[in-house]
Each structure stands twice: as C-alpha cells, then as structure tokens.
Amino acid sequence: MNQVAKVIVDVPARQVDRPFDYLIPTELLEIVQVGTRVSVPFGNRKVQGFVVAIQSEADTDKLKTIDAAMDIVPVLNQELLELGDWIAAETLSFRVSVYQAMLPAALRAKYEKYFIRLDESDEELEALFEGAETLDFKKAEQNELLPALKRYLHDGEIEIAYEVKNKAVKKKAKVVERLASVERIDETIQDLPKNAKAKARVLLFLAEQTNATLPLSELREKTKASASTITSLEKEGLIRITEQVVGRDPYKGRQFEQSEPLALLPAQQKALDAILAARSAETFLLHGVTGSGKTEIYLQSIAEVLEQGKEAIVLVPEISLTPQMVERFKSRFGEEVAVLHSALSHGEKYDEWRKIERGEAKVAVGARSAIFAPFENIGIIIIDEEHESSYKQEENPRYHARDVAIWRAKRYGCPVVLGSATPSLESFARAQKEVYTLLELPERINQQVLPKVEVVDMREELRSENRTEFSVDLLEKIKERIERKEQVVLLLNKRGYASFVMCRDCGFVMECPNCDISLTYHQAGNRMKCHYCGHEEQVPSNCPSCGSEHIRYFGTGTQKIEESLTKLIPEARIIRMDVDTTRTKGAHEKLLTRFKNQEADILLGTQMIAKGLDFPNITLVGVLNADTMLFLPDFRAAERTFQLLTQVSGRAGRHELPGEVVVQSYAPEHYSIRFAKEHDYLGFYQHEMRMRKRGAYPPFYYLTLISVSDQNERKAIQTIQEMSRYLQTKLTEKSLILGPVPSTISRINNKYRYQCMIKYKVEPELKKRTKDIARSLSKRTG
C-alpha cells in the first residue's frame, strides 16, 4: 500500500484552491506528515504546498510524487489547519494564503525562481547556462534569454524550479558543555599549579552552573578566560565545545525584577473569579476605565492557567506593545513569555515562535498574528484594547483576531477575555445581549479621579486672531507645568490629516499621476509621496499650474508643531515621536525612556503616544486637533474619536498628581467630544447606537463591500453593475444594496475603482453568492 498526501499547493488561484494528491516517496514516509510543507511538481513547475491529510491508497500509478520535504517537523498542527480552512471560508480567501499568514514571516517561503538544465549534452544550452547546472530566472530575463529558454522548456530540456529560500537564518553559536563531574573538577583544581589561576577560575565557574551548557561568549566574559585556557581545558577532556543553534532573545540581558501578584480590589476579584470559574468557552468583556487594574487581572488569570499546565495568548495592539507592557508580563512569568512583535527582525520573531512550538514558552504576548501561536493546550486568550481596528487584517485574508480567538477558545473550551476602557460598539452590544459576559471595573485604582477635560473652541481662537495651533488656554497651562517641573503630552491626531503641498495663489494641489489622491509631503528630502502606489517626486519650487513661488507645504505635521511651539515657549524641552523619529529599531523605546527620566517637558506625537504610557509626572494632556477624524467618510468616525480622546485622557494623572486634559476642536458640540469630556462611555454608547440604527450600520446591519478595479474604466463600471444586478435578484428584500458608486479613492495605480455596499441583517446566501461572483470573475479573467 502506498501513502498518498493531500496537498494544498501554493498557487493562489480559485481553480486550484483544493487538495491535490501526491505519492509520498518511500524515503520521505517518515518525514512527510500532516502540516509539513513539501515541494511538488505542479504543471510544468515545482511549487511549495502544505500537506493537509495523508491516506492509504491502493492504485497510485498515475500520481505524481512529492519531490522534497521543506520541513523536518510539521509547521502547522491539525487544529491550525482546520482553523485555516474556517478562516478561508469565512473571509473568501485561498487556503494557502491563510496557512502562510499563520506562519512567522521568516518561514513564509520566498521563491527563488530559476532554470535547471536537464539535457547535459546540448552545447548551446551549456553556453546559455555558462556551464552551470542552474540559471537564475532574473538573470536570464536581464540577458534577454527568455525566448530561447522558452523553446528549451517546451522541448523538456530544461525545467523551471521555484526554490524556497528560508529567510530566517538560524543563528549558531559556540557553547561549552561541562564533561567532568564536580568531584573531578574539584580534584583538578587541587592539582593545578599555582600559576594556573585562569584555569581554576573557569573550572570553578563551570562547577557552579546548574545548566549543563552555556554560551562560550558568556563563559569568557564572566571568567575573563583566554582562548588558550579554554582550548587546553578542552584538550584535557574537561569540557567540550560545540556549535548549537541558539535562540536570539531580543530581551536578553535585560533584567526583569520578579513581580508578585497584588492583593486585588473587590471589583477586580469579582472579575477574576468569574473568568476562572468559566468551565467552557465563554467570552468576557472586561470594561474598565484606564488605570482600573485590567492588566493585573490578566496576569492573575494567566498565573492560574499556567498552574493548570495550560498556555495563554495575550494580544495587545502593535502600538501599545511597548517595553513597559512587555516588562509587566516578563517580570511576572519570566522565561515563559514569548513576545511576537513586528519591531523584531524576522529572525527574532522566528525564534520566539519556535520557543512556543517547542513548548519552552507558555505565554505568547503579541500583536494580531500572535493569535496563531502554535500552542496545543490553550487555557485562556486575552485581547487587550479589544476595540482597536488593528485586530482586523486589512489585506487578505481579512480575518479579525477576535473571531479567531473565539474559534480557538471553543476548540479548547477556554475563556476569552476582551478588555477595553472603550469597548467597540459591537462587543458592548453583544454583552448587553448576554452573548458575552460583562465584567465592569468602574473605578480607577486608589479612587484617583479621572482627569478634568476642557474643550476649547478653536473657531473662537481664530476670531480673536490667534493663528497658531495652540489656544491661549493650552499654552498657559503648558507654561505652568514647565514651571512646576511637571510633564505634558501633546497629541496631534494624524488620522484624516493630510500634509499636502498647495499653491497659495491658485489653489493647485499636487496629486499622484496614478491615483486620484493628493501626494503627501515628507520632510526628509523635501519629497512628495503617494501612499498608495509609491510614486515619489520632488517638491517643485514653482507652481506647475500658475508659476507662482508661493507653493508650499500645507497642513500640520508634528515637525511643524514642534517648530512653532519652540517659538512660543523657547525654554520648553520637547521630544517628538512620530513615524520619522521612530523609524530605527529601538528608537521608540529610547525616546520614551528619555521622557520617563524627565529629560524633556513635552512629549509631542501622533496616535502612537495615546496608549500605554504610564508616567507619574504627566499632569497635562493636550489634544491639538480632536476632530479631524470626524470628517472622514467612515461610519466609525465618531466611535474612533471618542476612543482616542478617552485613551489619551487616560494618560494624565494616573498617580498622585491630578491630571488635566485640554481638547482643541472645531466641532466642540459634536457628541463624541461631549461624551469623552464627561468620561461617559454608556452615554456615548446609547447615543451612537441610535445613530447606527438610523443609518442602518453595524451592529444593527452587517456590511459587505464589493469592489472592482480595472485599468479600463468602462469595464470596471460594467462589471460592478453586473454584480449589483445579480445580487439584487438573489438577496432577500430586506437587504440594501448601495451603489454602485466610485470608491472613495476612485483610482489607485491607474486602476479605476468602483464599489457597492450591501447592508443586511440575515443573509444566509450572501457568502455563497459572493463566492459565486468571485469564481465567475476569475474564470473570465482566466
């Protein structure tokens, strides 16, 4: 009997999104398992694939055979494979794309495409290949050899190969292993001549170690031993030196002081008890104001889960995954914590992932994709700041980490804890309907009052001839804090705030030649960039339209704010934090440390400063432009504004000193700003729910956006109209189809974009219908 593997090949196309059968060659029988990646012949090339099942089959004559295994051990377990299938079905993605998304980037295969010479006798071919066995595709392309090679390919004299390049280079290091027993070491030391002090030092050091091995570099550093000392010990057979693959620990060398569980307050205890009492998959919504002690609840429930021999996943939004946050987990659980952070290099992330896979780490802390941590006995899944939009992946597969968490929790019968000071409307509505269990922490620890929020009407400032970005009030208050040696956080809300170049004389705005959107100004190099297609150009010195010299950068970037603030308060020491100043690795952390050490009075930054900051000396938070988001065509604009204002207000007065918040706005009467001022989540929730109901938006209706893009505008319109007509006939009467209309950005990279929006309550057929559409379209385009 032969073994047959069912393989999902890495060709993201509708037609091949199903398993293909391959014979497992005898020599790979022990290696190829469910979840192993393999290289298989597919058409006339070789591709990578995932083995999703193995069966015995009798007649296998006609089957192709697996070429090679890419892994020694499977990279996906049965649970993750099934999860992948579910996500693929839910998000209308290809299974292979989902599997890839579940793996750390370093494991994601990068193809090197090249030709292999099969016919050794052909001289011309040998010349083309310059005598080598293989020829790089790109090189062949550059040398214009492709037409000739195409003929050889057709005749079967060469073949195309796709080689998988693993980007994660495993790091190797020399390690020292103690061979001699402690007794023998003792004896040896006794017998050593007096001048062999270095040797004695090394031996003593080794005898004291609890671990059998340690890195050579560490040994040398700690004992100051020379290379020759080590070599002679090795010669005497007391130690052995080998090369080992070592995990890179990005937090290595940093000391985390062990932290002990705090005695919980009654509200905290109640929440913890409820979570720990969950006997099956149950989703909790932990609604607690900033500083109410949510994180301590996470820590203590994880401790209990570990006690039971199980594992925990903690998701934190990328921007709040600060060293401070990591430290809280590391100092409680030490080495058992793996951190999956996008700021790590691919290799580092791979190492952290391997720690989980090997069972060395029991707690995974990370951003969205950490939800795929390859644990096999999950005891709890925690999603902090559950309202954050970054939990939804914006590209295919468009999964939401919350849904994935709930799926995995069902599988393991464990609780999910969604924590937030400002829960998403969807989650709070589910808690109201008791789909989720609501847990409330209404007060801050130590009953600190929430900071007082003052809203300044910037229109008034303009009327009174104040043309700066700072209201008189805010400026006064900043000066006060500087005098008192307290600290200030200033937020510039960048979302919806374009920095563009405009001619002051004729109003000409620089736009991308490929996309219908204005170019964004980048101070570095004085260049204009398109954030959609990458087009770049220099800022012109004269307006291309009227020739005026008064064409310049318009809009307010953090850098400009910094400049005007320095003019207004020359003595202010400012730290600016935005994409420009945090580009290099570790920069984010360095800036925060400097601020923490009070090397500056003011921390000025974008959204990235709104979260996770917990410094005792911050007593004033200023929001320079609270409302820019409100003008975006997004039904969540009010919710996002409320969330941001609440979050950033939470940065002030977290410790002994009382805090104050100044919010500058051109729309101070807007309800999102009014409710944020009062710290009134419930009031906001109720108001916003009424607005959503009226507008037929989530959570009352589901939305599905169908968009079409094509270089040919007429074809794009035709297709979207066809789709919309088709759906009109297939969907129930209660569903609304809006559009078709041009998309918000109606052209990206020279492709015209049209869309229609479907609003529906129950539409059991919708998934199937959209799938049908996708299938028929992919057929059409071949």
Among 37, 117, 199, 294, which residue sits at the site for ligand ADP (rule: CB under 6 A)?
294
Separation between Cα atoms, residue 465 and residue 459, nearest integer Å = 10
Q: Which residues within the stretch 216-235 sit at the binding site for ligand ADP (CB under 6 A)?
A: none
Least separation in angstroms between CB 637 and Zn ion: 24
In Å, the largest CA–CA distance within the chain is 96
Whether 626 contacts 493, CB under 8 Å: yes
CB nearer ligand ADP, residue 449 or residue 741: 449
Separation between Cα atoms, residue 649 and residue 451, nearest integer Å = 7
Cα separations in angstroms, 487 against 52, 250, 604, 620? 56, 30, 11, 7
CB nearer ligand ADP, residue 248 or residue 655: 655
**Residue 76: closest CA among 56, 43, 102, 42:** 102
CB nearer ligand ADP, residue 295 or residue 581: 295
CB nearer Zn ion, residue 546 or residue 682: 546
Query: b/e map of 386-420 (b: 16 or more CB within 10 Å)?
Result: bbbeebeeeeebebbbbbbbbbbbeebebbbbbbb
Whether 521 contacts 754, CB under 8 Å: no
CB nearer Zn ion, residue 300 or residue 499: 499
CB nearer Zn ion, residue 85 or residue 511: 511
Residues that bind Zn ion (CB under 5 A): 503, 505-506, 508, 512, 514-515, 530, 532-533, 535, 543, 545-546, 548
Annotated binding-site residue? 530: yes
> Which window, 284-292, 393-401, 407-415, 754-762, contacts ligand ADP (CB under 6 A)?
284-292
- Partner from Zn ion, ligand ADP, none contacting 291, C-beta within 5 to 8 A by type: ligand ADP
Annotated binding-site residue? 756: no
Q: Is 267 in the site for ligand ADP (CB under 6 A)?
A: no
Separation between Cα atoms, residue 407 and residue 691, nearest integer Å = 31
- Partner from ligand ADP, Zn ion, none contacting 246, C-beta within 5 to 8 A by type: none
Q: Is 445 in the site for ligand ADP (CB under 6 A)?
A: yes
Q: Is 487 in the site for ligand ADP (CB under 6 A)?
A: no
- Partner from ligand ADP, Zn ion, none contacting 543, C-beta within 5 to 8 A by type: Zn ion
Written in H, E and C, the secondary structure of 596-640 is: HCCCCCEEEECHHHCCCCCCCCEEEEEECCCCHHHHCCCCCHHHH
| Cα dihedral 225→228→234→235 (10° resolution) | -150
> Which window, 262-270, 506-514, 696-704, 750-758, contacts ligand ADP (CB under 6 A)?
262-270
Q: Cα 8 to the chain's mean position, in Å?
A: 26
- Partner from Zn ion, ligand ADP, none contacting 545, C-beta within 5 to 8 A by type: Zn ion
CB nearer ligand ADP, residue 654 or residue 677: 654
**Which x/- pattern, by CB under 6 A, does the window 631-670 give for ligand ADP?**
----------------------------------------
- Partner from ligand ADP, Zn ion, none contacting 530, C-beta within 5 to 8 A by type: Zn ion
Whether 758 contacts 736, CB under 8 Å: yes
- Partner from ligand ADP, Zn ion, none contacting 63, C-beta within 5 to 8 A by type: none
Q: Is 160 in the site for ligand ADP (CB under 6 A)?
A: no
Whether 356 contacts 373, CB under 8 Å: yes
Least separation in angstroms between CB 766 and Zn ion: 32
Whether 568 contacts 561, CB under 8 Å: no
> Is the four-CA dihedral 765, 768, 774, 780 of positive or negative sign?
negative
Among 296, 336, 469, 660, which residue sits at the site for ligand ADP (rule: CB under 6 A)?
296
Which pairs with CB-CB distance under 8 Å and at least 24 residues apart come from 690-694? 691/638, 692/425, 692/635
Q: Which residues within the stretch 667-726 sit at the binding site for ligand ADP (CB under 6 A)?
A: none
Q: Identify the DSSP state of 243.
A: E
Q: Is 423 in the site for ligand ADP (CB under 6 A)?
A: no
CB nearer ligand ADP, residue 80 or residue 421: 421
Least separation in angstroms between CB 217 and ligand ADP: 36
Whether 448 contacts 576, CB under 8 Å: no
Separation between Cα atoms, residue 36 and residue 69, nearest integer Å = 7
Quickly list DSSP for 635-657: TTHHHHHHHHHHHHHTTSS-SSS
Beta strands 520-522; 527-529: pairing state:
antiparallel
> Which window, 125-133, 257-265, 399-407, 495-503, contacts ligand ADP (CB under 6 A)?
257-265
CB nearer ligand ADP, residue 437 or residue 558: 437
The strand order across the sheet containing 751-760 reads: 702-710, 751-760, 736-748
| Binding residues with ligand ADP: total (CB under 6 A) | 14
Contacts of 253 (CB under 8 A, 6+ apart): none
CB nearer Zn ion, residue 167 or residue 535: 535
Q: Tell me how long the chain is.
A: 782
Q: Is 291 in the site for ligand ADP (CB under 6 A)?
A: yes
Separation between Cα atoms, residue 383 and residue 298, nearest integer Å = 10
Among 290, 301, 422, 743, which residue sits at the site for ligand ADP (rule: CB under 6 A)?
290
Annotated binding-site residue? 414: no
Annotated binding-site residue? 533: yes
Which two three-digit tokens encode residue 572? 């202010």
Among 91, 223, 292, 619, which residue sits at the site for ligand ADP (rule: CB under 6 A)?
292
CB nearer ligand ADP, residue 260 or residue 571: 260
Among 288, 366, 379, 653, which residue sits at the site for ligand ADP (rule: CB under 6 A)?
288
- Partner from Zn ion, ligand ADP, none contacting 532, C-beta within 5 to 8 A by type: Zn ion
Quickly list DSSP for 130-192: TT-SEEEHHHHHHTT-HHHHHHHHHTTSEEEEEEEEP--PPPEEEEEEE-S-HHHHHHHHHHS
Contacts of 287 (CB under 8 A, 6+ apart): 420, 421, 423, 428, 431, 438, 439, 440, 441, 681
- Partner from ligand ADP, Zn ion, none contacting 515, C-beta within 5 to 8 A by type: Zn ion
CB nearer Zn ion, residue 497 or residue 532: 532
Q: Is 320 in the site for ligand ADP (CB under 6 A)?
A: no
Separation between Cα atoms, residue 155 and residue 42, nearest integer Å = 17
Among 35, 104, 293, 347, which residue sits at the site for ligand ADP (rule: CB under 6 A)?
293
Query: b/e map of 25-56 (b: 16 or more CB within 10 Å)?
Result: beebeebbbbbbbbbbebeeebbbbbbbeeee
Q: Is 295 in the site for ligand ADP (CB under 6 A)?
A: yes
Q: Is 265 in the site for ligand ADP (CB under 6 A)?
A: yes
Q: Is 262 in the site for ligand ADP (CB under 6 A)?
A: yes
Residues that bind ligand ADP (CB under 6 A): 262-265, 268, 288, 290-296, 445
Binding site members for Zn(2+): 503, 506, 512, 515, 530, 533, 543, 546
